[in-house]
Amino acid sequence: MSVQERIATAMEEIAAFDFDKSGTVSGQGGGYKFIPIATILSAVRRAHAKAGVFMTTGPLEYDEDKGEQRWDYTKENKYGDKTVWHAAIGHCEVTIHGADGDSITFTVPFEAQDNSDKLSNKIITNIERSAYRILYAIDEGNAEDPESINEPLGAVPTKAQKLAQADAFFKTPSKTESNKDRAKRILPKLIEWAEKNEQNPTLDTLRNFYGRDIEGWDDKTIIDGWATLVEKEGAE
């Protein structure tokens, strides 16, 4: 079968799946229901295994002319407490492969934000959700996963602000040093885990995003990448 025929076979399987909106996001007006990403992935994996297809992703891409980029911003609550958020808007090339070697490729946009160290994980989840919703017309309304908290994205920095942020004079030494120390502590564990799990799909996706050589990753990528492996693959 061609990859298109295999996708049609998978879609027939997925169309028969009863997607239960078992997740709830609280909010004004009672919140809303959503289909958890784990439910979507479970249905898709089963359908793909039967149809003989699988998905791979290319590197994350940011087209600044279209307002795409990755940035940090600070949010202050009514009590004066400040929190640093990390956000990203971009796109990624996704390829669906058939068992006979043919494939199709399409572009998937992504948006994600986080106030800890899980931005990379959220980007990957966002891409998976969007790709499968596009490909298999999975309808879940306008709901998001609960980890994509109902927070508006912070203002995208201007070019002048980005230049200032890139200048070492404007960086906070303590924060930079903290990230550096943390990445230094994590890197040996990350490399050791990668050596033992070379065929891991999540690790392979991260390497496609950030480069095959883990030692060449920057501090933030090391921290985000390890958090993704811990959460999705139980790395320790």
Using pLDDT thresholds of 50, 70 and 90, give the confidence band for residue 29: low
- Among 113-117, 145-149, 156-160, the range scoring the smallest mean pLDDT is 145-149
Domains with residue ranges and CATH for the chain: 3-157 (3.30.390), 172-236 (no CATH)
Of 147 and 71, which is predicted with more confidence?
A: 71
What Cα–Cα distance (Å) separates residue 6 from each residue in 16, 49, 138? 16, 10, 17
Contacts of 3 (CB under 8 A, 6+ apart): 53, 96, 97, 98, 100, 102, 103, 104
Q: Which of 233, 154, 221 is nearest to 194 (CA)?
A: 233
Chain segment 131-149, per-residue pLDDT in tens: 998 899 887 554 455 444 4
pTM of the model: 0.58
Whole-number pLDDT of residue 80: 81
| % of the chain residues with pLDDT over 90 | 36
What Cα–Cα distance (Å) separates residue 216 from each residue in 50, 107, 209, 220? 38, 27, 13, 12
Residue 163 has pLDDT above 60, yes or no: no
- Among 16-25, 56-65, 178-187, 220-229, the range scoring the smallest mean pLDDT is 16-25
Residue 53 has pLDDT above 60, yes or no: yes
* Cβ–Cβ under 8 Å, residues 10 and 48: yes
